Each structure stands twice: as structure tokens, then as C-alpha cells.
Structure 1
């Protein structure tokens, strides 16, 4: 179990690392699920954007205070970490690991030159969240995306970029018309349409969040 959790951590990490083992071309039994109704205010935001078909059209406002930006994204910086969350969802964690590995592999395939804080990074986060939402719903996808950001403390502007792209991926998965489309094609189309954040917002400080929190 510990080895599995370690692989989940590596697969979700922003640093480009090799993943051991082959990842299957397809993960079967991908269920069509609507967004959950029971997880934080972000669910209401996502349902609203889905209603108007505008996932990613509302950008994170620049230069907000850190706590305000987190509220905008419904993120708790002191929330549960990914290892504890994986233990809480023992039967879901292995499939979520496969989604993380597949998304990282796909990012390397299509955007090998921008895997850190670039287009490939945005693609990977959105694709992972998109896939988990299709399988388990938006609530689980948000919990695992947030838990990774809690466990891996990045500079603030990097963390906000990751959280935003996770949000867009969840939103895209809630659009009924996307459910019959290829996952990669949906996220690539979102990139082409300017829906994802593909570079750091310099209006936010790059100071490591650990230092800001005094940890």
C-alpha cells in the first residue's frame, strides 16, 4: 500500500519524474457522472459555468490576497493530504493512480517541452481532473487534486495555476456533450480555446507557500 501511495504522489508531482511500469492504453468502465451536489461552493460555480458552456471563461482575478484566491478556488491549504485521502478511499485510489500516470504520459507525448508551469503542465492537471470526474464525480476529483496541492507545497503562483486548471478539467467533464469524446481531444480543444492557464500569473508572488505559512 505504501508503494502505491508513493507512486500516486510521484505521478501527481509537478517535477518531471519517470514512472515505473506500463500504463494500460485504456481504463475500462468509465462511468458518465454528473457533478456532485455536496462539496463546497466550487460545485455551484462549476454547475453555473456548465450551464452556459463556458468552462474556463472566468479567470482567476489577478493580484488577490492569498486567502481570497483560495476562497475563490474553494481550497483549504490546511486540508487533508493525499496519502490520508488515499487511505480513506482505498478502492478508488488505484484507479486514480492509473489516471494520474496516464495523464502524465499523455502530457509528455503531446507537450514534452512545457511540462513545468507551461502548456503541458496545464494539460496534465486538467486531463487528470477530467478523467477522475468522469469516473467518480467532481467531489472526489476536487478532493484528490486539492490533497496533492496540500501535500506538495509549491510557490503560490504555481499552486494557483494548478488549482485553476484542475477546476476547468472538472467543469469540462460535466458537459454532457463531452462524454462521448476522446479525453485528450477535449482538453486540447480547451487549450486551443484559451480555457486553461498555461503560464504563471506574475501578479501573484512566487514565494514558496511554506514560507508564507511559517511552517
Structure 2
């Protein structure tokens, strides 16, 4: 659980997909929601209820702030949902369900959106793990995080579909960037004449 204490930051621009996923300890080959639910059937029902309630409460928070941005709603929903799951079941199960949600609801083409969600999932778990937030209302904590700019509400343009390099393109650029032309050898004439 060392990731709880790790400083939460957006991934640096220009990372490969695997490096960006590694930033969040996200396994893109992990379990989807339906498979994870088989391992935790009772908890999965409660997590689903928390998901639905968090969607409704995210609407409330967004509309109170007169904001109709889709990404702001997504940020609030993900942070609030992870906050609630972490409070009830702990950060490990919250991460498992958050990651499975991303695998179920986001395609590989939605990489920037997935990173946005992973960041806000992380923030929800971190905020829930902060002991100062224990007596506070969950919606109040997330509203404050949104207003103070802690939640990420915009897509990072460095990870747009147009700018994202695939692993193969990165490797290819590294291979062809080498200079295979040998420099001409120079000799010191004083050494040759001895």
C-alpha cells in the first residue's frame, strides 16, 4: 500500500502507454468488472450501488457549481465513487474495482480519458485514506477537491489520439535515430613516424 503515500501527479507528457499505465499501477490486461464480481459477489452488489449513488451525487455537485462539462462530471464521479469504496472496503478493493471499471467502460482508443479517470480514482482513494477527512461528509470533501483544482477535469493533450505514439513507433524511432556512419579515423603523424 505504498502507493497511498506516493505523491499523486499526472503522468509526464510523452510517455508510452505502458509507462503511463505504470504510473498508476494499472494493468491493462486485468480483470473486467463482470469477472471481478465473480470473486466478490456480495461486495460487487454494494459497489454497484455505490456507483449508481455516486453518479447521482456527481450530478448534484456539478449542477450546484453551474458546470456542465462532461470531464468535470467524470472527475467528480470517479473520485467520489473511489472515496466511498475505500471508506467501506479499503483502498485495495477500491483500486481493483476502479481498474476493472476502466477495462469494461473505456476502449484502448480512449487513452486520455482513461488516464483522466485513473488519476481521479487515485485521488478519491487518497482523500479517503486521509484521516483528517474521516469526520467530514464525502460530497463535501470531493466538492472541495474539485473547487481547489485537485481533481483533473481536462484531458491532457499530450495523450490525445493524434499525439500518442505507440510502443512500436517509439521503438522504431529509437532504432532509426542511431548514426550508423563511422567517423573517419584520424592519425597522429608524429606517432607513425617513430
Q: Normalising by structure 2, report the TM-score.
A: 0.77
- Say whether residues 1:78 and 2:29 are aligned partners: yes
The residue aligned with 1:193 is 148
Measure the CA separation in 1 of the matches of 2:59 and 2:6: 32
Alpha-carbon distance in structure 2 between the residues aligned to 1:106 and 1:206 = 31
**Would you say the 8 A contact 1:173–1:179 is kept in 2?**
yes
Q: Residue 160 of structure 2 corresponds to which residue in structure 1?
A: 205
After superposition, the Cα gap between the structure-2 partners of 1:162 and 1:114, relative to the gap in structure 1 and judged at 3 Å, is farther
Q: State the alpha-carbon separation in 2 of the partners of residues 85 and 137 from structure 1.
A: 16
Aligned to 1:45: 3
Shift of 1:87: 1.3
The CA deviation at 1:115 is 5.7
Gaps of 5+ in 1: 1-42, 50-55
Structure 2: how far apart are the matches of 1:190 and 1:91? 30
Residues in 1 aligned to 2:158 and 2:10: alpha-carbon distance in whole angstroms? 13
Q: Retained in 2: the 8 A contact 1:114–1:121? A: no
Q: How big is each residue's C-alpha offset from its partner over 1:7-61, in whole Å with a ceiling of 9 and x where there is no partner? A: xxxxxxxxxxxxxxxxxxxxxxxxxxxxxxxxxxxx3131244xxxxxx5x2322
Between the aligned partners of 1:63 and 1:166, the Cα distance in structure 2 is 22
User: Gapped runs of 5+ residues in structure 2?
Assistant: 168-194
Q: How many residues align?
A: 160
| Contact 2:61–2:143 (CA under 8 A) maintained in structure 1 | no
- Whether 1:171 aligns to 2:122 is no
- C-alpha separation in 1, matches of 2:87 and 2:4: 14
Residue 157 of structure 1 aligns to a residue in which SS?
A: helix
* Cα deviation, residue 161, structure 1: 0.4
Which residue in 2 is equivalent to 1:111?
62
More helix by share: 2
User: Residue deviations 1:141-194, cap 9 Å, x none?
Assistant: 000000011122331000010011000000000001101100000011111221
Retained in 2: the 8 A contact 1:107–1:115?
no
Compute the TM-score of the two structures, normalised by the length of structure 1: 0.69
**Regions of 4+ moved over 3 Å:** 112-115
CA distance in 2, matches of 1:138, 1:184: 18
Cα RMSD over matched residues? 1.9
Contact kept? 2:82, 2:121, Cα under 8 Å: yes
